[in-house]
Amino acid sequence: MTVSHNSLDVLIPHFNDVEGLELSLMSVQKQVWPYTIRVVIADDGSSKEVYRKLEALVGTYPFEIVLIRNVQNRGRPYTRNVLLSHIDSSLVTWLDAGDEWFANKSMAQLEALDNYSQSVKGLCWATCNYNWKWKDKKPILCNQMVDGDPINSLLSGKKLRAYLWTIMAPAETFREVGFFDEKLPRLQDLDYFLRFISLGGKLVKPNNNEPLCTYHKSDLGRDARQIRDCNHYIFKKHYSLYFQYGEQFIKSRKYDMDLLSARYALNNKKHILAFYYLSNALYRRPRTLLKRVSRGGFHL
């Protein structure tokens, strides 16, 4: 793997959230970064009124912004594939509208990539610790544990989470992994990370444990059925990865899938659907679920 410091592409999918995008772009502007920054925004069929506001917004920043528009809404994986097709810099990072970086994120991740490339050749992504921020709640520090078995950690989703907006890497690594699976309207990050690791990719992160970005989390409007269907699709697609850890591991992951969809259903007041997923989770791991319910809440 080679790391060139000539320029950085920031790839941002956007849909009807100019206010969130403004927060994200302001955090890009604050980066302590001595090289060129080029932002590529792919708008996924926002309304005409929103798109006019978007056009006005992008003209207010000092760095280059390339604005691409899908005439109609095509979904997150399609839009991310559009962004992949427009990479022009040697380094690439991702950002979702509504999330934000701390000022030292880019340089800290570049250092991590440089440290790795000096001793090892191969595909490498730099992730980072981040703050998980629910509305009206204090941020929670989430540590990305990159040591150990990354496949196990990604499938478990607790010590290491597949979030593309935590990643910086040479452009060549994304070309190696290829395009996003457009059958996954949600959770395409997990599929993409698994494919990267399966190619021999390595995840690294800066040495300090400070968060470098904030994920502003909300379940509102999220489709619980869609989330469960996407989890099932990934399970079938990557079954051999799950299977290597045994029957109990698979049982635990299916429990997690049902519990996640139950949380989305509950937070969107779909109580009957939530009961269905909780019933499935109860069947798989009754004692674990009852202990969870006794503590209260489903903010995973």
Domain ranges of the chain: 7-217, 225-295
**DSSP per-residue codes, the chain:** -----SEEEEEEEESS-HHHHHHHHHHHHT---SSEEEEEEEEES--HHHHHHHHHHHTTSSSEEEEEEESS---HHHHHHHHHHT--SSEEEE--TT-EE-TTHHHHHHHHHHHHHTT--S-EEE---EEEEETTS--EEE----SS-HHHHHHHTSSS---GGG-EEEHHHHHHH----TT-SS-HHHHHHHHHHHTT-EEE--SS----EEEEE--TT--HHHHHHHHHHHHHHTHHHHHTT-HHHHHHHHHHHHHHHHHHHHHTT-HHHHHHHHHHHHHH-HHHHHHHHHH-----
The pLDDT of 55-69, averaged and rounded, is 95
Q: Which CATH number fits domain 7-217: 3.50.50.60, 3.90.550.10, 3.40.50.300, 3.40.50.261?
A: 3.90.550.10
pLDDT at position 5 is: 65
Tell me the pTM. 0.94
Q: What is the pLDDT of residues 185-233, one digit of tens each?
A: 999 999 999 999 999 999 999 998 899 999 998 888 899 999 999 999 9
Residue-wise pLDDT for 68-94, tens only, equals 999 999 999 999 999 999 999 999 999
Q: What pLDDT does 13 receive?
A: 98
